[in-house]
Amino acid sequence: MKQNINNTPANSGSGDKFKIAFDKVNANFTELYGLIVTNNKQIENGRNFITAANLPKEQPLEFITGLNLVITTITTNISTINNNLKDLELEITTLNSTVASLNSTVLAQASLIASQSNLIAIINSEIASLKTKVK
């Protein structure tokens, strides 16, 4: 049975996750390959097999239409996956930019803390010096 990837509305992030989408693509390929025969032997799933010699002559249009639907579904699924990958790439780029910004902020804060620590050490030294002079 044809499996559609849920991506409604497009690029909203509410559709199928990659694992589920690829499982559906694999199911569609399995269904398609179930109709193909290698060396005149039926492939795994026990369906009536089709070879060039025994294409269904009574309903060739329905057969071709069915294959076209499978191919269209696969093409749509691949397009959806490509769009999802582009969205993921954009999200990764945004995350990388955010991490770089946070790293810069952390480094600036660390530098400020080091400066303040040096200042505290100088003040403590001056206080100690003054205490000695007062005695």
The pLDDT of residue 97 is above 90: yes
Q: Is residue 112 part of a domain?
A: no
Q: Is residue 129 part of a domain?
A: no
- Which tens digits make up the pLDDT trace of 3-57? 777 777 766 777 777 788 888 888 877 776 665 544 344 444 445 545 555 555 5
pLDDT of residue 57: 55
Alpha-helical (H) ranges within the chain are 18-33, 60-134
Q: Is residue 133 part of a domain?
A: no
Which residue pairs, CB below 8 angstroms and at least 24 apart, start in 99-102?
none
pLDDT band at 92 (very low <50, low <70, confident <90, very high): very high
Contact by Cβ (8 Å): 24, 77: yes
Q: Is residue 67 part of a domain?
A: yes
Q: Structurally, how many domains does the chain consist of?
A: 1
Q: Is residue 69 part of a domain?
A: yes
Full residue range of the structural domain in which residue 76 is found: 18-99
Q: Is residue 46 part of a domain?
A: yes
Q: Is residue 10 part of a domain?
A: no
- Which tens digits make up the pLDDT trace of 49-60? 455 555 555 556
Q: Is residue 104 part of a domain?
A: no
- Which tens digits make up the pLDDT trace of 72-89? 888 888 888 998 899 899
- Which tens digits make up the pLDDT trace of 100-112? 999 999 999 999 9
Vertex 86: Cα angle to 84 and 91 (nearest 5): 95
